């Protein structure tokens, strides 16, 4: 299916929520198709929880379907398979509602998240913006990332769900030559043609390889906490995306992610703190090391 619609797509199926044993609980299936290695992608889990949050707000009489702000704290990594999302309404208001969710699997709380929900407009222009969209090489000059990166002993299953074309300036890491910039830029969209919407931006902001791959060949870089703001309803078309790191220290790194729609509107921005293990004696390539 090349033209999946919102509501009938791989992403919508994988984030579906069903009523649970009481109105505050929702049944979900953590989908094996949205994983990196054995573990579900953090942005996918955030979108899954957002569906439950929206369901809880709707049940409480609040017609706020769009995530405006979302923060997840990843407590334990769930496995693909059945789980529940427990919801608590913090506030329902005229313009926004706030809902807390906990994704629980096998009695274990895995992801704690809080959402501010509202209704986004599809404004072409912001009232004010400090910066122009990030410069990215034209899509035809970028490199499509596949689910089996060279040398990796795991599958990036999410690359079968969303396409990512990376600007070649950030691709040195794939051949063991990180640039030392930690700044990935590219283009992304769902493979099945589903348009991007506010919900799916919660996935896209966590869908790139760790920007630190462009510094050092570390192991995986698990997200500890992720915060995303969705600023406008995206126009149809491929998304422009940038992910960058600012500081690596003492086992942790912060990474920012910005997403622009096809009109150049900044539609989502995110920040995350992740754990990273730097190999002994390694320096950030190319640098002096």
- CA gap 107, 83 in Å, rounded: 9
Q: Which of 27, 104, 109, 139 binds a second copy (CB under 8 A)?
A: 109
Contact in structure between 175 and 148 (CB atoms under 8 Å): no
Q: Which of 225, 235, 262, 264 binds a second copy (CB under 8 A)?
A: 225
- CA gap 117, 275 in Å, rounded: 29
CA 151, chain centre distance (Å): 24
Interacting positions 32-91 with a second copy (CB under 8 A): 68-69, 71, 73, 75-76, 90-91
H/E element, 59: helix 42-59
Nearer to a second copy, 156 or 182 (CB): 182
Nearer to a second copy, 3 or 121 (CB): 121
Quick count: other Cβ atoms within 10 Å of Cβ 219? 10
Q: Which of 132, 247, 279, 281 binds a second copy (CB under 8 A)?
A: 247
Interacting positions 89-108 with a second copy (CB under 8 A): 90-91, 95-96, 98, 100
Interacting positions 169-188 with a second copy (CB under 8 A): 181-183
Q: Which of 3, 94, 130, 175 binds a second copy (CB under 8 A)?
A: 130
The DSSP bridge pattern shows strands 108-118 and 81-92 to be: unpaired
CB within 8 A of 96, min separation 6: which ones?
64, 68, 116, 117, 118
Contact in structure between 231 and 267 (CB atoms under 8 Å): yes
- Is residue 126 near a second copy by the rule CB under 8 A? yes
Tokens of 214: 């462009």
- Is residue 2 near a second copy by the rule CB under 8 A? no
Give the interface with a second copy as residue ranges (CB under 8 A).
Answer: 68-69, 71, 73, 75-76, 90-91, 95-96, 98, 100, 109, 112, 114, 116, 120-121, 123, 126-131, 181-183, 215, 224-225, 227, 229, 231-232, 244-252, 254, 266, 269, 271, 273, 278, 284
């Amino acid at each position: 299916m090349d033209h999946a619609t919102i509501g009938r797509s791989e992403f919508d199926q994988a984030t579906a929520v069903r009523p649970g044993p009481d109105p505050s609980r929702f049944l979900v299936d953590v989908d094996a198709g949205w994983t990196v290695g054995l573990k579900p992608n953090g942005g996918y889990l955030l979108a899954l929880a957002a569906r439950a949050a929206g369901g809880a707000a709707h049940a409480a009489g609040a017609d706020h379907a769009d995530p405006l702000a979302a923060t997840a704290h990843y407590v334990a990594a769930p496995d693909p398979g059945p789980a529940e999302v427990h919801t608590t309404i913090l506030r329902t208001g005229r313009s926004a509602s706030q809902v807390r969710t906990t994704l629980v699997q096998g009695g274990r709380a895995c992801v704690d998240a809080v959402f501010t929900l509202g209704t986004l407009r599809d404004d072409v222009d912001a009232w004010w913006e400090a910066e122009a969209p990030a410069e990215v090489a034209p899509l035809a000059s970028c490199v499509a990332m596949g689910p089996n990166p060279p040398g990796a002993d795991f599958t990036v299953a999410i690359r079968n769900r969303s396409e990512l074309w990376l600007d070649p300036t950030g691709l040195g890491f794939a051949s063991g030559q990180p640039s030392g910039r930690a700044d990935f830029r590219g283009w992304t969209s769902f493979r099945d043609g589903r348009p991007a919407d506010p919900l799916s931006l919660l996935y896209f902001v966590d869908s790139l390889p760790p920007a630190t791959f462009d510094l050092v060949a570390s192991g995986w870089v698990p997200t500890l906490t992720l915060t995303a703001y969705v600023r406008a309803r995206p126009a149809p078309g491929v998304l422009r995306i940038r992910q960058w790191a600012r500081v690596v220290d003492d086992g942790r790194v912060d990474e920012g992610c910005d997403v622009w729609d096809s009109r150049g509107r900044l539609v989502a921005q995110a920040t995350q703190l992740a754990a990273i293990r730097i190999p002994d004696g390694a320096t950030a390539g190319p640098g002096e090391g």
